[in-house]
Protein backbone atom coordinates (compact mmCIF):
# COMPACT_ATOMS: atom_id res chain seq x y z
CA UNK A 1 0.00 0.00 0.00
CA UNK A 2 1.09 3.48 -0.75
CA UNK A 3 1.31 6.12 1.95
CA UNK A 4 1.39 8.84 -0.68
CA UNK A 5 -1.93 7.71 -2.14
CA UNK A 6 -3.56 7.79 1.26
CA UNK A 7 -3.88 11.55 1.18
CA UNK A 8 -6.34 11.07 -1.68
CA UNK A 9 -8.67 8.98 0.48
CA UNK A 10 -11.19 11.72 1.17
CA UNK A 11 -11.33 12.78 -2.48
CA UNK A 12 -11.84 9.23 -3.66
CA UNK A 13 -14.31 8.23 -1.00
CA UNK A 14 -16.65 10.95 -2.24
CA UNK A 15 -17.42 8.87 -5.33
CA UNK A 16 -20.80 7.27 -4.67
CA UNK A 17 -20.43 4.93 -7.67
CA UNK A 18 -23.56 6.35 -9.30
CA UNK A 19 -22.02 5.79 -12.71
CA UNK A 20 -23.00 9.18 -14.16
CA UNK A 21 -19.49 9.41 -15.64
CA UNK A 22 -20.21 6.44 -17.89
CA UNK A 23 -22.35 8.66 -20.09
CA UNK A 24 -19.63 11.26 -20.67
CA UNK A 25 -16.22 9.56 -20.41
CA UNK A 26 -14.51 9.40 -23.83
CA UNK A 27 -12.32 6.40 -23.02
CA UNK A 28 -15.29 4.45 -21.67
CA UNK A 29 -17.29 5.33 -24.77
CA UNK A 30 -14.70 3.49 -26.85
CA UNK A 31 -13.59 0.64 -24.61
CA UNK A 32 -16.86 -0.11 -22.81
CA UNK A 33 -15.00 -1.34 -19.77
CA UNK A 34 -15.50 -0.29 -16.19
CA UNK A 35 -11.73 0.02 -15.65
CA UNK A 36 -11.47 2.97 -18.03
CA UNK A 37 -14.22 5.16 -16.68
CA UNK A 38 -13.86 7.65 -13.81
CA UNK A 39 -15.89 5.48 -11.43
CA UNK A 40 -13.66 2.48 -12.07
CA UNK A 41 -10.50 4.55 -11.76
CA UNK A 42 -11.72 5.89 -8.42
CA UNK A 43 -12.56 2.36 -7.28
CA UNK A 44 -9.04 1.24 -8.19
CA UNK A 45 -7.33 4.06 -6.35
CA UNK A 46 -9.54 3.32 -3.35
CA UNK A 47 -8.66 -0.38 -3.52
CA UNK A 48 -4.95 0.48 -3.46
CA UNK A 49 -5.48 2.81 -0.50
CA UNK A 50 -7.41 0.07 1.31
CA UNK A 51 -4.64 -2.43 0.63
CA UNK A 52 -6.84 -4.68 -1.53
CA UNK A 53 -4.85 -4.03 -4.69
CA UNK A 54 -1.21 -3.58 -5.64
CA UNK A 55 -0.19 -0.95 -8.13
CA UNK A 56 0.35 -3.36 -11.00
CA UNK A 57 0.61 -2.89 -14.72
CA UNK A 58 -3.14 -2.78 -15.31
CA UNK A 59 -3.47 -0.12 -12.63
CA UNK A 60 -0.74 1.90 -14.26
CA UNK A 61 -2.40 1.60 -17.66
CA UNK A 62 -5.80 2.74 -16.48
CA UNK A 63 -4.35 5.69 -14.55
CA UNK A 64 -2.23 6.81 -17.50
CA UNK A 65 -5.02 5.94 -19.94
CA UNK A 66 -7.21 8.88 -18.90
CA UNK A 67 -7.50 11.75 -21.37
CA UNK A 68 -7.89 14.25 -18.50
CA UNK A 69 -10.71 15.97 -20.36
CA UNK A 70 -12.60 16.66 -17.13
CA UNK A 71 -16.00 15.63 -18.49
CA UNK A 72 -16.49 13.41 -15.44
CA UNK A 73 -15.69 16.18 -13.00
CA UNK A 74 -18.01 18.61 -14.77
CA UNK A 75 -20.82 16.05 -14.70
CA UNK A 76 -20.15 14.46 -11.32
CA UNK A 77 -23.09 15.05 -9.02
CA UNK A 78 -20.96 14.07 -6.04
CA UNK A 79 -18.29 16.59 -6.99
CA UNK A 80 -15.31 14.26 -7.24
CA UNK A 81 -12.26 16.02 -8.62
CA UNK A 82 -11.26 13.11 -10.81
CA UNK A 83 -8.47 14.83 -12.78
CA UNK A 84 -6.85 15.83 -9.49
CA UNK A 85 -6.93 12.23 -8.26
CA UNK A 86 -5.51 10.94 -11.54
CA UNK A 87 -2.75 13.53 -11.53
CA UNK A 88 -1.76 12.69 -7.94
CA UNK A 89 -1.94 8.96 -8.64
CA UNK A 90 0.37 9.47 -11.61
CA UNK A 91 2.78 11.35 -9.39
CA UNK A 92 2.76 8.44 -6.94
CA UNK A 93 3.26 5.93 -9.74
CA UNK A 94 6.12 8.01 -11.10
CA UNK A 95 7.79 8.24 -7.73
CA UNK A 96 7.21 4.71 -6.48
CA UNK A 97 7.15 2.67 -9.67
CA UNK A 98 9.14 4.82 -12.06
CA UNK A 99 6.20 4.84 -14.47
CA UNK A 100 6.58 6.51 -17.85
CA UNK A 101 10.22 7.25 -17.13
CA UNK A 102 11.15 8.03 -20.74
CA UNK A 103 8.25 10.41 -21.31
CA UNK A 104 8.92 12.11 -18.00
CA UNK A 105 12.61 12.43 -18.73
CA UNK A 106 11.91 13.97 -22.12
CA UNK A 107 9.30 16.36 -20.74
CA UNK A 108 11.52 17.41 -17.85
CA UNK A 109 14.52 18.03 -20.05
CA UNK A 110 12.64 19.73 -22.88
CA UNK A 111 10.66 22.14 -20.76
CA UNK A 112 13.41 23.11 -18.33
CA UNK A 113 14.09 26.51 -19.84
CA UNK A 114 13.67 28.49 -23.02
CA UNK A 115 16.78 27.12 -24.65
CA UNK A 116 15.80 23.55 -23.91
CA UNK A 117 12.33 24.21 -25.31
CA UNK A 118 13.68 25.71 -28.52
CA UNK A 119 15.95 22.71 -28.87
CA UNK A 120 13.24 20.18 -28.11
CA UNK A 121 10.78 21.60 -30.58
CA UNK A 122 13.49 21.84 -33.24
CA UNK A 123 14.22 18.17 -32.52
CA UNK A 124 10.55 17.34 -32.85
CA UNK A 125 10.40 19.08 -36.21
CA UNK A 126 13.47 17.15 -37.27
CA UNK A 127 12.03 13.98 -35.80
CA UNK A 128 8.87 14.39 -37.75
CA UNK A 129 10.73 14.94 -40.99
CA UNK A 130 13.10 12.07 -40.33
CA UNK A 131 10.93 9.48 -38.63
CA UNK A 132 7.68 9.83 -40.53
CA UNK A 133 9.05 8.12 -43.65
CA UNK A 134 10.64 5.41 -41.48
CA UNK A 135 7.29 4.72 -39.87
CA UNK A 136 6.09 3.15 -43.11
CA UNK A 137 8.84 0.56 -42.92
CA UNK A 138 9.27 -2.50 -40.68
CA UNK A 139 11.70 -0.41 -38.63
CA UNK A 140 8.65 1.40 -37.26
CA UNK A 141 8.37 -0.86 -34.26
CA UNK A 142 11.65 0.48 -32.93
CA UNK A 143 10.42 4.06 -33.05
CA UNK A 144 9.13 5.71 -29.91
CA UNK A 145 5.54 6.77 -29.32
CA UNK A 146 3.37 7.97 -32.14
CA UNK A 147 5.97 7.37 -34.81
CA UNK A 148 5.10 3.71 -34.45
CA UNK A 149 1.83 4.56 -36.01
CA UNK A 150 2.26 5.89 -39.49
CA UNK A 151 -1.34 6.92 -39.70
CA UNK A 152 -0.99 9.94 -37.48
CA UNK A 153 -0.72 13.18 -39.42
CA UNK A 154 1.40 15.49 -37.35
CA UNK A 155 1.65 19.09 -38.44
CA UNK A 156 4.72 20.24 -40.26
CA UNK A 157 6.52 22.48 -37.83
CA UNK A 158 7.36 26.02 -38.95
CA UNK A 159 10.92 27.27 -38.98
CA UNK A 160 10.20 30.45 -37.05
CA UNK A 161 8.27 30.33 -33.77
CA UNK A 162 5.96 33.14 -32.72
CA UNK A 163 8.52 35.45 -31.04
CA UNK A 164 10.38 35.64 -34.34
CA UNK A 165 7.21 36.69 -36.17
CA UNK A 166 5.70 39.42 -34.05
CA UNK A 167 7.29 42.18 -32.01
CA UNK A 168 7.25 42.08 -28.23
CA UNK A 169 4.87 45.05 -28.21
CA UNK A 170 2.19 45.54 -30.84
CA UNK A 171 0.50 48.83 -30.12
CA UNK A 172 -2.40 50.78 -31.54
CA UNK A 173 -3.32 54.45 -31.42
CA UNK A 174 -5.66 55.41 -28.59
CA UNK A 175 -5.51 51.96 -27.07
CA UNK A 176 -8.39 50.95 -24.83
CA UNK A 177 -6.06 48.91 -22.73
CA UNK A 178 -3.10 46.60 -22.56
CA UNK A 179 -3.10 42.82 -22.62
CA UNK A 180 -0.47 40.11 -22.45
CA UNK A 181 -0.91 37.27 -24.90
CA UNK A 182 0.36 34.02 -23.39
CA UNK A 183 0.80 31.86 -26.47
CA UNK A 184 1.59 28.45 -25.00
CA UNK A 185 3.85 25.89 -26.64
CA UNK A 186 1.56 24.66 -29.39
CA UNK A 187 0.85 28.18 -30.62
CA UNK A 188 4.45 29.25 -30.16
CA UNK A 189 6.11 26.38 -31.96
CA UNK A 190 3.49 24.56 -34.04
CA UNK A 191 0.81 27.05 -35.06
CA UNK A 192 2.48 30.48 -34.67
CA UNK A 193 -0.02 31.80 -37.22
CA UNK A 194 -2.67 31.62 -34.47
CA UNK A 195 -0.48 33.85 -32.34
CA UNK A 196 -0.06 36.33 -35.18
CA UNK A 197 -3.81 36.31 -35.64
CA UNK A 198 -4.38 36.85 -31.94
CA UNK A 199 -2.17 39.91 -31.97
CA UNK A 200 -3.85 41.23 -35.08
CA UNK A 201 -7.39 40.67 -33.78
CA UNK A 202 -6.63 42.12 -30.34
CA UNK A 203 -5.08 45.17 -32.00
CA UNK A 204 -8.19 45.50 -34.13
CA UNK A 205 -10.23 45.37 -30.94
CA UNK A 206 -8.24 48.35 -29.71
CA UNK A 207 -5.76 46.72 -27.35
CA UNK A 208 -2.00 46.93 -27.08
CA UNK A 209 -0.60 43.43 -27.04
CA UNK A 210 2.57 42.18 -25.42
CA UNK A 211 4.03 38.76 -25.97
CA UNK A 212 6.73 37.20 -23.80
CA UNK A 213 9.82 36.70 -25.91
CA UNK A 214 11.26 33.89 -23.82
CA UNK A 215 7.91 32.49 -22.70
CA UNK A 216 8.04 29.20 -20.81
CA UNK A 217 5.63 26.28 -20.97
CA UNK A 218 2.76 26.40 -18.47
CA UNK A 219 3.86 23.01 -17.20
CA UNK A 220 0.74 21.02 -17.93
CA UNK A 221 2.65 18.27 -19.75
CA UNK A 222 4.69 17.80 -16.57
CA UNK A 223 1.75 17.67 -14.18
CA UNK A 224 -0.13 15.25 -16.36
CA UNK A 225 2.88 12.93 -16.34
CA UNK A 226 3.13 13.16 -12.57
CA UNK A 227 6.30 15.31 -12.59
CA UNK A 228 5.03 17.52 -9.82
CA UNK A 229 8.33 18.94 -8.55
CA UNK A 230 9.44 20.02 -11.98
CA UNK A 231 5.95 21.37 -12.61
CA UNK A 232 5.95 23.50 -9.50
CA UNK A 233 9.37 24.89 -10.32
CA UNK A 234 8.25 25.80 -13.83
CA UNK A 235 5.03 27.35 -12.55
CA UNK A 236 7.04 29.64 -10.26
CA UNK A 237 9.14 30.76 -13.22
CA UNK A 238 6.08 31.41 -15.37
CA UNK A 239 4.51 33.49 -12.60
CA UNK A 240 7.71 35.53 -12.32
CA UNK A 241 7.94 35.89 -16.07
CA UNK A 242 4.38 37.11 -16.53
CA UNK A 243 4.67 40.36 -14.66
CA UNK A 244 1.00 41.29 -14.83
CA UNK A 245 0.61 44.45 -12.80
CA UNK A 246 0.53 46.67 -15.88
CA UNK A 247 -1.77 44.46 -17.94
CA UNK A 248 -5.58 44.50 -17.99
CA UNK A 249 -5.63 40.81 -18.77
CA UNK A 250 -3.48 37.84 -19.68
CA UNK A 251 -5.10 36.15 -22.64
CA UNK A 252 -4.62 32.72 -24.09
CA UNK A 253 -5.84 30.97 -27.20
CA UNK A 254 -5.14 27.62 -25.55
CA UNK A 255 -7.73 26.55 -22.97
CA UNK A 256 -5.33 24.11 -21.33
CA UNK A 257 -2.84 26.88 -20.63
CA UNK A 258 -5.66 29.10 -19.37
CA UNK A 259 -7.01 26.43 -17.06
CA UNK A 260 -3.53 25.66 -15.73
CA UNK A 261 -2.64 29.29 -15.05
CA UNK A 262 -6.04 30.24 -13.73
CA UNK A 263 -7.17 27.24 -11.69
CA UNK A 264 -4.13 25.12 -11.01
CA UNK A 265 -1.36 27.59 -10.17
CA UNK A 266 -3.11 29.03 -7.10
CA UNK A 267 -3.55 25.46 -5.83
CA UNK A 268 0.02 24.30 -6.30
CA UNK A 269 1.49 27.65 -5.27
CA UNK A 270 -0.87 28.53 -2.41
CA UNK A 271 1.53 31.05 -0.84
CA UNK A 272 2.38 32.89 -4.03
CA UNK A 273 0.81 36.33 -4.36
CA UNK A 274 2.02 36.42 -7.93
CA UNK A 275 0.12 33.23 -8.78
CA UNK A 276 -3.06 34.65 -7.29
CA UNK A 277 -2.66 37.92 -9.18
CA UNK A 278 -1.97 36.07 -12.40
CA UNK A 279 -4.96 33.82 -11.87
CA UNK A 280 -7.21 36.88 -11.55
CA UNK A 281 -6.02 38.26 -14.87
CA UNK A 282 -5.97 35.13 -16.98
CA UNK A 283 -8.84 34.90 -19.40
CA UNK A 284 -9.71 32.91 -22.48
CA UNK A 285 -9.46 35.11 -25.55
CA UNK A 286 -13.00 34.23 -26.76
CA UNK A 287 -14.54 35.39 -23.51
CA UNK A 288 -12.41 38.52 -23.40
CA UNK A 289 -13.27 39.51 -26.95
CA UNK A 290 -17.01 39.01 -26.54
CA UNK A 291 -17.27 40.48 -23.05
CA UNK A 292 -14.78 43.33 -23.11
CA UNK A 293 -14.62 44.49 -26.71
CA UNK A 294 -16.80 45.52 -29.64
CA UNK A 295 -14.91 43.37 -32.10
CA UNK A 296 -18.04 41.60 -33.31
CA UNK A 297 -19.49 44.94 -34.41
CA UNK A 298 -16.59 45.44 -36.75
CA UNK A 299 -16.94 42.30 -38.79
CA UNK A 300 -18.71 41.21 -41.91
CA UNK A 301 -19.71 37.55 -41.86
CA UNK A 302 -17.87 35.28 -44.27
CA UNK A 303 -20.01 33.13 -46.56
CA UNK A 304 -18.85 29.74 -45.24
CA UNK A 305 -20.86 27.76 -42.73
CA UNK A 306 -19.14 26.41 -39.66
CA UNK A 307 -19.50 23.73 -36.99
CA UNK A 308 -17.89 23.99 -33.58
CA UNK A 309 -16.02 21.53 -31.37
CA UNK A 310 -15.97 22.42 -27.66
CA UNK A 311 -12.44 22.04 -26.28
CA UNK A 312 -12.73 20.08 -23.03
CA UNK A 313 -10.67 22.43 -20.91
CA UNK A 314 -12.64 25.41 -22.18
CA UNK A 315 -16.07 23.84 -21.72
CA UNK A 316 -15.71 21.37 -18.86
CA UNK A 317 -12.79 23.21 -17.30
CA UNK A 318 -13.99 26.81 -17.46
CA UNK A 319 -17.62 26.57 -18.49
CA UNK A 320 -17.06 28.58 -21.67
CA UNK A 321 -19.53 27.42 -24.30
CA UNK A 322 -21.53 30.41 -25.37
CA UNK A 323 -18.77 32.88 -26.25
CA UNK A 324 -17.13 30.98 -29.12
CA UNK A 325 -20.58 30.32 -30.56
CA UNK A 326 -21.45 33.99 -30.31
CA UNK A 327 -18.32 34.74 -32.34
CA UNK A 328 -19.10 32.10 -34.96
CA UNK A 329 -22.71 33.18 -35.35
CA UNK A 330 -21.60 36.73 -35.95
CA UNK A 331 -18.67 35.94 -38.20
CA UNK A 332 -19.86 33.19 -40.52
CA UNK A 333 -22.65 32.12 -42.83
CA UNK A 334 -24.14 30.01 -40.06
CA UNK A 335 -23.28 27.70 -37.19
CA UNK A 336 -24.38 24.09 -37.67
CA UNK A 337 -24.08 22.19 -34.39
CA UNK A 338 -22.54 18.75 -34.65
CA UNK A 339 -23.84 15.84 -32.58
CA UNK A 340 -21.86 15.63 -29.36
CA UNK A 341 -20.06 18.96 -29.85
CA UNK A 342 -18.95 18.80 -26.21
CA UNK A 343 -17.32 15.38 -26.53
CA UNK A 344 -13.55 15.11 -26.30
CA UNK A 345 -11.70 14.91 -29.63
CA UNK A 346 -9.24 12.45 -28.12
CA UNK A 347 -6.17 14.70 -28.03
CA UNK A 348 -5.50 15.09 -24.33
CA UNK A 349 -1.85 16.17 -24.80
CA UNK A 350 0.42 13.35 -23.69
CA UNK A 351 -2.62 11.04 -23.73
CA UNK A 352 -2.58 11.01 -27.52
CA UNK A 353 1.12 10.24 -27.58
CA UNK A 354 0.93 7.43 -25.03
CA UNK A 355 -2.37 5.97 -26.31
CA UNK A 356 -2.59 6.93 -29.95
CA UNK A 357 -4.72 4.00 -31.08
CA UNK A 358 -7.49 4.81 -28.58
CA UNK A 359 -7.12 8.53 -29.05
CA UNK A 360 -7.42 8.02 -32.80
CA UNK A 361 -10.66 6.07 -32.42
CA UNK A 362 -12.16 8.87 -30.34
CA UNK A 363 -11.07 11.35 -33.02
CA UNK A 364 -12.61 9.24 -35.72
CA UNK A 365 -16.06 9.42 -34.10
CA UNK A 366 -15.68 13.14 -33.58
CA UNK A 367 -14.67 13.62 -37.20
CA UNK A 368 -17.71 11.67 -38.36
CA UNK A 369 -19.96 14.01 -36.41
CA UNK A 370 -18.20 17.06 -37.86
CA UNK A 371 -18.42 15.76 -41.42
CA UNK A 372 -22.12 14.92 -41.01
CA UNK A 373 -22.96 18.59 -40.41
CA UNK A 374 -21.94 19.44 -43.98
CA UNK A 375 -20.45 22.68 -42.66
CA UNK A 376 -17.56 24.19 -44.64
CA UNK A 377 -15.31 24.81 -41.66
CA UNK A 378 -14.68 23.01 -38.38
CA UNK A 379 -13.95 25.63 -35.77
CA UNK A 380 -12.56 25.12 -32.31
CA UNK A 381 -10.76 27.23 -29.76
CA UNK A 382 -7.78 25.10 -28.85
CA UNK A 383 -4.60 24.49 -30.85
CA UNK A 384 -4.30 20.95 -29.45
CA UNK A 385 -7.80 20.07 -30.60
CA UNK A 386 -6.96 21.59 -33.98
CA UNK A 387 -3.96 19.32 -34.36
CA UNK A 388 -6.00 16.26 -33.48
CA UNK A 389 -9.08 17.21 -35.48
CA UNK A 390 -6.97 17.85 -38.57
CA UNK A 391 -5.47 14.37 -38.19
CA UNK A 392 -8.85 12.78 -37.50
CA UNK A 393 -10.61 14.50 -40.38
CA UNK A 394 -7.88 13.63 -42.81
CA UNK A 395 -8.13 9.96 -41.84
CA UNK A 396 -11.91 10.03 -42.04
CA UNK A 397 -11.76 11.54 -45.53
CA UNK A 398 -13.18 14.90 -44.43
CA UNK A 399 -12.37 17.88 -46.58
CA UNK A 400 -13.18 20.56 -44.04
CA UNK A 401 -10.69 23.13 -42.95
CA UNK A 402 -10.04 23.24 -39.19
CA UNK A 403 -9.61 26.75 -37.83
CA UNK A 404 -9.31 28.53 -34.51
CA UNK A 405 -12.15 30.93 -33.66
CA UNK A 406 -9.58 33.74 -33.80
CA UNK A 407 -8.74 32.87 -37.38
CA UNK A 408 -12.40 33.10 -38.29
CA UNK A 409 -12.71 36.53 -36.70
CA UNK A 410 -9.69 37.63 -38.69
CA UNK A 411 -11.24 36.41 -41.94
CA UNK A 412 -14.38 38.39 -41.14
CA UNK A 413 -12.71 41.63 -40.05
CA UNK A 414 -13.82 44.55 -42.22
CA UNK A 415 -10.89 45.54 -44.35
Q: Which residues bind another protein (CB under 8 A)?
A: 13-14, 16-23, 32-35, 39-40, 43-44, 47, 52-54, 56, 58-59, 62, 76-79
Helices within 98-176 (DSSP H only): 101-110, 114-134
Identity of the residue, 58 or 126, whose beta carbon is nearer to another protein in the bound complex:
58
Residues β-bridged to residue 180:
210, 250
Report the alpha-carbon distance of residue 239 to residue 277 in Å, rounded.
9
- C-beta of 17: minimal distance to another protein in Å? 5
- C-beta of 51: minimal distance to another protein in Å? 12
User: Looking at residue 190, what DSSP letter applies?
Assistant: I
- C-beta of 221: minimal distance to another protein in Å? 26
Ramachandran bin of 39, using left for φ above 0, alpha for ψ from -120 to 50, beta for the remaining angles: alpha
Identity of the residue, 43 or 413, whose beta carbon is nearer to another protein in the bound complex:
43
Non-local CB neighbours of 168 within 8 Å, separated by 6+ positions: 210, 211, 212, 213
Identity of the residue, 39 or 152, whose beta carbon is nearer to another protein in the bound complex:
39
Identity of the residue, 170 or 355, whose beta carbon is nearer to another protein in the bound complex:
355
- C-beta of 39: minimal distance to another protein in Å? 8
- C-beta of 18: minimal distance to another protein in Å? 5
Name the strands in the sheet holding 306-308, side by side, starting at the edge strand that comes first in the sequence. Answer: 306-308, 377-380, 401-404
Identity of the residue, 29 or 226, whose beta carbon is nearer to another protein in the bound complex:
29
Report the alpha-carbon distance of residue 401 to residue 121 in Å, rounded.
25
- C-beta of 407: minimal distance to another protein in Å? 31
Q: Closest by alpha carbon to 361, among 24, 114, 26?
A: 26
Identity of the residue, 227 or 326, whose beta carbon is nearer to another protein in the bound complex:
326
Non-local CB neighbours of 123 within 8 Å, separated by 6+ positions: none
Amino acid sequence: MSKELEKLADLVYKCIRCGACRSVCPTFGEELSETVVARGRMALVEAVIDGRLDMGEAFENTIFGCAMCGACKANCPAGVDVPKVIEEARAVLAKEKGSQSLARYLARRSLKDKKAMDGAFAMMALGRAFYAPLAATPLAKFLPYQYKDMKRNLPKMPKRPLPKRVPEHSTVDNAKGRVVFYAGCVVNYVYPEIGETAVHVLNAAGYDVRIIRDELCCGKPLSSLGEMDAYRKLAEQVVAQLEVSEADAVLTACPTCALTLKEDYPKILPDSKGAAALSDKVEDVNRFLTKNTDILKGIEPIASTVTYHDPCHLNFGMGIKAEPREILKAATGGLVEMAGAEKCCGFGGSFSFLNYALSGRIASKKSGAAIATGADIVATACPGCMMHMRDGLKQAGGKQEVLHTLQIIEKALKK
